[in-house]
Every structure is written in structure tokens, then in C-alpha cells.
A and B are shown apart, each in its own frame.
Chain A
Amino acid sequence: MPKPSDLLQGTLDLLILKTLAREPLHGWGIAKKIQWLTDDELSVGQGSLYPALHRLEQQGWITAGWKNTELGRNAKFYSLTREGKQQLEREMESWKRLSGAVGLLLKRA
């Protein structure tokens, strides 16, 4: 399992933004969802997750608010802002380009 630090920062941002695209989530939820969606292949450590969340928040891509979970626990939920959605589009675009390019190289080289 790759360590958190092995994830490129940009990739982590992309993962977080994409994870938040459907619904607001708290930090724990984001970590779990990434793990679950990638069949436990990727696990984001809290050491990278929270700094990344705060960075994205400071950049204005996501916004945060305190809400109760289904179990009645108060937690900090993050959600995408409108600019965050645009940013996600851009990042997905460039990710596709990059992974496509890498794929091409792997196939042809």
C-alpha cells in the first residue's frame, strides 16, 4: 500500500475534490471513502489529509461547516464550492491527459 507521502500532492487534491463532488463529508469520511472506492488500494493518512483539506479550504475550493453526523456526533463537514467544482474539472482534465500520456508511453515504449 503506498504511503501517503507517495501520493503526489496534486493527486491527493484531485482525490479529495472528486470524493466531495457528490456529498459533503468530514475528514474521516473522506479517508474511508477514498479507501473504499479504491478497494483499499489507496489509504490517505491523517498526516496528509488534514493539511490538504486545510490547504484546499484556504484556496477557496472547498468550504467547511460543523454539522451532526447520522449518529448525532458533531463533525466538520467539507463541501465543494462552485469554484471547487471548476477546479475539479480542470484537474480531471489534466489528470486524464497525464495518465493517457503515461499509458501511451507504457504501451509503445
Chain B
Amino acid sequence: MRIVRLLRVAHLRARSLLRPADLDAELERELAFHLEQLTTEKIAEGLTPVEARLTARREFGNPALFAERSRDQRRVRWIDDLRQDVVFGLRMLRRSPGFTTVALLSLALGIGGNAAVMGALHGVLMTKLPFAHAERLVIVQTFAIDQPRQASGASILDYVAWRDRSRTLDAIAVSLSGPRQFAAEPDGTPAESIPGLSVTPGWFELLGVAPLHGRWPDTTRDAASDAARVVVISHRLWRQRFGGAPDIIGRRVRINGVSRRIIGVMPADFRYLADNVDCWMPMILGPDAARRPGAGRPFVVLGRLKPGVTIAQAQADFDAIAADLANVSPERHKGWGARVQPLRQAMYGWTKAPLFTLQAAVALVLLITCTNIAGLSIARTTVRRREIALRAALGAGRARIVRQLLAESALLSGAGGVLGLVVAAVGLRVVTTALGPPASAPHLAGLDLDGGVVAVAVLLSVLSAFALGLPSALASGRMDLSSALNASGAAAGKHPSGHRQRGMLVIAQLAFALVLLVLAGLLAHSFLRLSGRNINMDPDGLLTFEYGVVPAAYAKQVGYINGLPHFELNVPPARTIDRLYERLRQLPGTESVAGISYPPVNSLVLPTTIVALEKNGTRDVREVPYFLVTPGFFATARTPIIRGRDFDARDTDSSPWVAIVNEAMARSFWPGEDALGKHVTLGNGPDERDREVAGIVADIPTRLNQIDAAPVIYASYRQQPSSYAGRWIGMFGQMTFLVRRRGDMASVLSAARRAVSEVDPDRPLVRVGTVQQHLYARRSESRNYVLALAAFALTAMLLSAIGTYGVTAHAVNERTREIGIRRTVGAGRREIVTLVGRRVVPLIAVGLALGLAAAAALSGLIANQLWGVSPTEPATYAAVSVVLALVSLLACLGPVRRAIAVDPTVVLRCE
């Protein structure tokens, strides 16, 4: 029964949808029949046929109206209307190509930018890490309690203590990163330094990743003595160094002088904290691991929470352990806390702040886009009032008109959304490069247009359709039909509330744009400050590479001094470095060569020493960054020597030991005195000798983003003790060489390689490149970030200029007649300009003022992304305000010129 009816209804719907013309014809016939009957009746009543027809028609009423109402009954009316609306909307959009283009472009930018940044945010915050139980994986770090913001890794003691005591972890593993020297292969593949990771058993299983080929190290299967002699290599290394050899599993390679068997290949897309690790080796901790001394806290501890345990519970657990450890063995644990952090946060936490800033920026752009287009469409609505009023008078309901306007804006924002997807695809690239090269942002590299990004774009399109259409739809609803229809053509556009709305929109736009400009300006200012700063080195033409020997080759731990490991140093590393230095000095095509124990700027580790001063009977002890350098270092780096001298051939082990300090140290240690000739003792162990300050050099910042110079002390690597107590044993066995070249880079570099292989054939060069590259490796990321923000800010400015232009043009159009009259009665250009200006300048002023206030209130949020620039720095605020004001005024220029050019006679005759 019901089925029959359903089928019938479905048939009817289909018919009304597919053959509306047939239905309309039928309806017309039906009504005609009715009219005919009515006429016949009238004739029967005695009227003449003509009279009868007229009376019948009068009585019958408006057939078009009935037809319309009958059509309304068809239930598919909305589809019909939609079709009509779309066609009509397309026609309207085509008719105003300027509006359409501006609207489309700004929507595409707004929607696309937002989708891209939200996609990236989503990727960073939500995407599941490709590990088993990824949500339970945590990184545990230590931190000095007096410096809670600066986290360190863990010492092996920390690891053992945590492993044995933690009640909230069900698995724990530790890794230690460092370069591994792969020896030259018999087939001629040269020696290479490969970033590697040593991991304790279970580390692979903890991450739950399966090997691409082979297997993971297995302590039970690999005989204990053999267990350490295996290596897992990355997909990249397998491809590049071993040519993707199919028989790679089981091959032997010499790594750090030990022969190891390759037992596995990592999947290509494996990413852990650092992206560039290419080999993994087991780290076997014997039962005496806890008793072994551990210098520093270089280990990264990975743990897995027991099911159901929260981060907070784990943190409480580790707080308790830390407190307990500080009691049990204060010499090693006092003053240190432990922090539990989700693995995701450890991997991506740092990208959050810039991403949120970008997100805020694109959200502002979208907001401006919408206000702008809303303003434009209000203007259009007021211009189209007559058309709309006419349609209303012809029987279109208010709902129908609102729907029509919404359909138009839906078309716009739909097309904008499609373009936006294109922008988003490009934008994702921009965002990911803005945050850094793939190496520093592992999973960001894989971000692409996905369902989420598309969903965001669609959602934004729908929202912006409403934002666009509603204001004008509402404005049309308040319209008074008769006045709209009766008003003369030009005056029909007058609509006071439309003005107020547009004025407010322009104010909002200018304020948003200013906020964005201020943020981008502050970041750009900070960036320029950093890049323009004098680092007191001349990186141009300076080649650099690193050379190093593992500490085990020259140092042997003999005990502890004041809780610090105490090593005996062998002479060989110094001697090898000496030979290398002498050999490199004879390199053709070079001007000078020098070495320094760590990269002087942006070194990953920054060794320090304790400097003790005797002053007026009191001992002043401070920790200062400490570099070992070769003779002529400052000359090669072209660092100005303020007083005294550079290290030179005089400085040998047997001559009086000297040190060179930077200006900041001279100022801070000997304020108001001459540091030259003063004596210091470095806390490097019992064999350290008294050193005289032989020179004062200009400040080389140890970090590129460090604004205030900090003390640094330098000593010759030839004047070093035979034993060392401290955490930086590595500095005695390595050198970062700087080569000031004259010849071309490639030949100098290959000569340098030859020289190094002559002295030490098994030791490859590491981090070869120009100093420029090393200094600015990280800078390109922040440059992209600042550029992305600046692009958004400029877009915002452009959009607000369009808005301002629109309001001004409108004001002029509407007052054309008034202007004409004023011109006739003798008003000069100035009066006309004032007339228009009075309308627009207040809007600009209020917009700027609001924007400045908002920017001042909000800029604190990016304070931690600024270096050496205060969030409320007046210069930036002033500069961007002036720029925005000028651009806004420039936007008014066209309409104002049109106002001046108004020809009174034409205008007056027109009306």
C-alpha cells in the first residue's frame, strides 16, 4: 500500500524535476480550461462574449500567481530555485568582473592559507606518530632545578635509577647520538662520518617499528661478545653508500675501527627525534653500568607508560624518584629534576609557537577577507537596491531574495574554496619550509593535502559564504520598497545603515591589518637585527670542516675530582692535530688556516670552563664558554684584536701559558681595569697552570640569536694540561678548521681532503662547507617563517586598502551631485578633498588607533620568538602605522581625483 504511494510520489517528483516544462504547459492548459469554463458561464448569464471574457479574467485573478503557487507544491521547488539562483548569481558575478576577481583572489588566499596552516597544525598536534602505542611513548629528561627551562638528557646513572625505580613505565630504553666513522671500503668508497645512534636492547621493540630488511639486534641470539658488533643502517645509507646492494645483510663494515656486521635496514620513512641518523648500534650496558662514571647527561631516555597511566602520574612518579635520588646520592643527583614529556611533544613541541602565530595570522587574513567582501557586497546590494526592490515588488518573497544573495556568495566562496585548495597545496610547502628543512621537522616533510585540509577548506568556504552573503541579505530585508523604487537612479544607492556598516568593516579591517603588520614587523625587525649583527668574523671565503678523534683514543678516566670525571690525556691527539694543522697551512690556494675546538658560533655543544680570579683577597669563580684554538685563529677569522696579540708560535707547552679573553669578559671580570696582563686559573684539573691574559678580542657571539655579548675565554691547544677534570673531554680530540681560501672552493677542498687522508687515512672530514652555510643553516628557516608572515601581513594590507578604496569610491559616487553643486558655486579642489576626506580619514584614524591598541595587547604572545626586540618596540609600531596610513590614503587617491574631476554641468544636467 505504502509502496504504491511512494512509487507514485517518486514518479511525480522525478517528473517535476526532469520535465518542469511539461508540467508548466499542463498547468497552463488546466488554468486555461478553467478560465474558459468561467467565460462560458458568464455568457450563459447573458453577457456578450467580449464582456464575458473580461469579467471572467477579472474574477479569475492573476494566473501567473496561481501557477507560481501551484509550482510551489511540487516539493522540488528548491532545486529549481537553486538552479535559477546559481544561473542568476553567475550572471551577476560575470557582470562585475572586478568585484568577482578581488573577491575570488582574497577568498582563495584566506581559505587556502588557513587550510594549509591548520593542516600543518593538525599534522603536528594530532597525527599519530608511526610507532606502536605512540600515545604512551615518553621522553624523560633532566633539568637543573635552578634552570628549569633548560632541559638536558640523562646520565647513565639517571637511566639506571629510573629503570630500576619507576613504577609508571613498563619499558625503558636509552640512546646516545654521535658521529660514527665508517672506514673506506675495499671497492674504493671513501671513509665517511655517519650520524649514528647507540641504543640499548629493546629500543627498536619499544618503538614497534619493523625492519625493512634483516632484523633488529637481539641480545639472546647474538652471542654476548658478538652482540655489540652489529649495526642497523638507514634506507638512505643503504641506497647511497652501498648502492642498494641486495646482499647487504651480513656484510661487514669497519666503524670506529671495529668490524661490524650489518643485520638490518630501517624503513625509508623512519623518523625519530633527529631525522638524519643513518646507523644504529646496540649499546650493551653491563651489570656494572651504574657504577661506571658518567660524564655529562648526553643520553636520551625513551619510555613507555603503563596502560592507563597519565603524563601527570608519570611526572609525579619521577618527581618522587628525583627527590629520593637527591637524598641517596646527592653528589650526582642533587639539584636535578626529571621531566616526562610525550614523545610527540619532544619531536614537534618547538614548532607549536610559530605555527600558532601563523595560524593567528591567516585567521586574521581570512577575517579581513570576509569583512572586505562583505563590505563590497553591501555596497553592491545598495547599488542593486532597485533591482532587488523590483524583484520584491514582482512577488519574490524575502526569503527568496535572501536565498538569491546567499547563492551568489556561495558561488563566490565555493570557487574561492577551490582556488583555496590550490593555495593550500602550495601553502603547505611554504609552511613546512617556513618551519625548517625536513631534517629538523621530520614528519612535517610528509605533510600533504589530505582529507583534513580539504575539510577545513570546505568548512571555511561555507562559513565565508554566510559571512559574505548575510550582511547584504539582512540589509536588503530592511529595505523600504517604495522609497527604493521611487528614488532617482543615482540616489538609489543611498542607504545610511549600509554606510555605517561599511565604515565599521573598514575600521575592523585596518585594525586587523595593523595587528598583523605589527607582528610581522616585529619578527622581521628581530630577524634583521640578528642577520645584520656584527659577529666579528668575516665568513666570506671561509671554508670549514671538522676533524675529530673519539675520546677513548686519547683519554682514560682515572677517578673523580669534585664529582667531575678525571681523565688522563695522552699526547697523540694534540700531536695529530698539530701535524694536520702544519700540513693544512701549506695548502695551495689558501691565505691562512686555523682551528678551534668547536664551531665558534652556533655550536651544538658549548664547553665551558671555570675561571677563578683572585681579587683583593677574595676568590671570584665563574663558568665561561671555553675554546681551544690554533695560532693565528683570530687573524684567519678576521676577528679584531682590541688589545694585545693573537696566539702564535711562541705559545708552546714550555713557554708561559696565556689566555685570550673577549671584550665582554674583560669588561665583566675587570670592570674599569685593563684586563691585559691579568692572571686567571682555569678549573680544568690539577695540571692547569696560571695563565696571563695576552690579548683582548672583539666578541664573537656563541649563538647567532644571542643579543648581548657574553664572556668567552680562549687558550692555545698547545698549552693544555696532561689530565682533565670536567665534562667536556671531547674538546681535546677535535678541531673545526677554518680555511681562508684564495683559490676556488672545490680545489681547495679536495686538497684539504688529501692533506687529511695523508695524516690520518681512516678519519673523514665532517661537516664540510662554507662558514656562511653553517652560520646560516638555521637562518633560512626563520627567514621563510618571517617571509610567510610578511606575505600574510601584506595581503592583509592590500585587502584593507581595497576596502578603504571601496568606501571612498562609494562616498564620491554618492555625492557626485553635491560635489557638482559645490563646484558650481565656486568650491576649490581643497574643499572637495576635505569633503571626501572628512568621510574617510576618521575611519583610517580609528582603525589605526584600534589596531595599535590591539597589537600592543597581543604582541606579548610572540615575545619568546623575538630576539633583542621588545614586543612593544615603538619604532616598529610607528613604521607600520605610517605605512598602513600611507597605503590607505593612496587607496583614496583615485576616487578623490575623480571627485575633483567632476564636471558640474554634466552632473547637474544628468538629474
B29→A60 contact, CB < 8 A: no
Contacting A at CB under 8 A, from B12-31, are 12-13, 16, 26-27, 29-31
Identify A58's interface contact among B27, B69, B74, CB under 8 A.
Answer: B74
B33→A26 contact, CB < 8 A: yes
Complex alpha-carbon distance, A47 and B12, angstroms? 22
List chain A residues, Cβ under 8 A from B61.
45-47
Comparing B1-9, B352-360, B602-610, B854-862, the segment that makes contact with chain A is B1-9
Comparing A16-24, A76-84, A88-96, A97-105, the segment that makes contact with chain B is A76-84
Contacting A at CB under 8 A, from B24-69, are 26-27, 29-31, 33-34, 36-38, 60-61, 65-66, 69
B75→A58 contact, CB < 8 A: yes
Task: From B4, B37, B38, B69, name the one whose CB has the most chain A CB atoms within 10 angstroms.
Answer: B37
Cβ-closest chain A residue relative to B67: A50
Smallest CB separation, B79 vs chain A (Å): 14
Smallest CB separation, B40 vs chain A (Å): 9
Complex alpha-carbon distance, A76 and B70, angstroms? 14
Complex alpha-carbon distance, A46 and B65, angstroms? 10
B69→A47 contact, CB < 8 A: yes
Complex alpha-carbon distance, A1 and B74, angstroms? 30
Instruction: Report the count of interface residues on B (CB-CB < 8 A).
Output: 31
List chain A residues, Cβ under 8 A from B220.
none
B73→A51 contact, CB < 8 A: yes
Instruction: Report the count of interface residues on A (CB-CB < 8 A).
Output: 24
Identify B33's interface contact among A45, A76, A81, CB under 8 A.
Answer: A76
Cβ-closest chain A residue relative to B63: A46
List chain B residues, Cβ under 8 A from A55.
73
List chain A residues, Cβ under 8 A from B36.
73
A60→B33 contact, CB < 8 A: no
Identify B66's interface contact among A28, A31, A47, A81, CB under 8 A.
Answer: A47
B66→A58 contact, CB < 8 A: no
Given A28-B37, A58-B12, A76-B26, decide whether A50 and B31 contact each other with a Cβ distance below 8 A. yes
Complex alpha-carbon distance, A57 and B70, angstroms? 11
Contacting B at CB under 8 A, from A26-65, are 26-28, 31, 45-47, 50-51, 53-55, 57-60, 63
A63→B33 contact, CB < 8 A: no
Task: From A50, A74, A75, name the one whose CB has the most chain B CB atoms within 10 angstroms.
Answer: A50
List chain A residues, Cβ under 8 A from B70.
50-51, 53-54
Cβ-closest chain A residue relative to B26: A76
List chain A residues, Cβ under 8 A from B16.
58
Complex alpha-carbon distance, A51 and B75, angstroms? 12
B69→A60 contact, CB < 8 A: no
B9→A47 contact, CB < 8 A: no
List chain B residues, Cβ under 8 A from A76.
26, 29-30, 33
List chain B residues, Cβ under 8 A from A53.
70
Identify B8's interface contact among A26, A54, A81, CB under 8 A.
Answer: A81
List chain A residues, Cβ under 8 A from B69.
47, 50-51
Complex alpha-carbon distance, A27 and B27, angstroms? 11
Cβ-closest chain B residue relative to A71: B40
Cβ-closest chain A residue relative to B8: A60
Cβ-closest chain A residue relative to B6: A60
A27→B9 contact, CB < 8 A: no
Complex alpha-carbon distance, A50 and B31, angstroms? 8
List chain A residues, Cβ under 8 A from B31.
46, 50
Complex alpha-carbon distance, A64 and B60, angstroms? 22
A83→B73 contact, CB < 8 A: no
Quick one: CB contact mask for B70-88 with A, threshold 8 Å, 1 for yes? Answer: 1111110000000000000
A27→B8 contact, CB < 8 A: no
List chain A residues, Cβ under 8 A from B5.
60, 81, 83
List chain B residues, Cβ under 8 A from A73.
33, 36
Smallest CB separation, A19 vs chain B (Å): 15
List chain A residues, Cβ under 8 A from B73.
51, 54-55, 57-58
Smallest CB separation, B16 vs chain A (Å): 8
List chain B residues, Cβ under 8 A from A50.
27, 30-31, 34, 66, 69-70
A47→B30 contact, CB < 8 A: no
Identify B9's interface contact among A60, A74, A75, A82, CB under 8 A.
Answer: A60
List chain B residues, Cβ under 8 A from A54.
27, 70-71, 73-74
Smallest CB separation, B29 vs chain A (Å): 7
List chain B residues, Cβ under 8 A from A59.
9
Complex alpha-carbon distance, A59 and B8, angstroms? 9
List chain A residues, Cβ under 8 A from B8.
60, 63, 81
Smallest CB separation, A69 vs chain B (Å): 9
Quick one: CB contact mask for B776-796 with A, threshold 8 Å, 1 for yes? Answer: 000000000000000000000
Cβ-closest chain A residue relative to B76: A58
Complex alpha-carbon distance, A84 and B465, angstroms? 43
Identify A27's interface contact among B2, B12, B34, CB under 8 A.
Answer: B34
Complex alpha-carbon distance, A26 and B29, angstroms? 12
List chain A residues, Cβ under 8 A from B13.
58
Complex alpha-carbon distance, A59 and B60, angstroms? 26
List chain A residues, Cβ under 8 A from B72.
51
Smallest CB separation, A75 vs chain B (Å): 5
Smallest CB separation, B355 vs chain A (Å): 54
A46→B34 contact, CB < 8 A: yes
Smallest CB separation, A62 vs chain B (Å): 10
Quick one: CB contact mask for B383-396 with A, threshold 8 Å, 1 for yes? Answer: 00000000000000
List chain A residues, Cβ under 8 A from B12.
57-58, 60
Cβ-closest chain B residue relative to A63: B8
Complex alpha-carbon distance, A53 and B72, angstroms? 12
Smallest CB separation, A17 vs chain B (Å): 15
Cβ-closest chain B residue relative to A84: B5
Could you list 16 A-B pairs, sorted by A, with CB under 8 Å?
A26-B33, A27-B30, A27-B33, A50-B30, A50-B34, A50-B66, A54-B27, A55-B73, A58-B12, A58-B13, A60-B8, A60-B9, A73-B33, A76-B26, A76-B30, A83-B1
Q: Which 6 A-B pairs have the closest CB atoms?
A: A54-B73, A60-B5, A28-B37, A55-B73, A51-B69, A54-B70
Chain B contact residues, CB within 8 Å of chain A? 1-2, 4-6, 8-9, 12-13, 16, 26-27, 29-31, 33-34, 36-38, 60-61, 65-66, 69-75
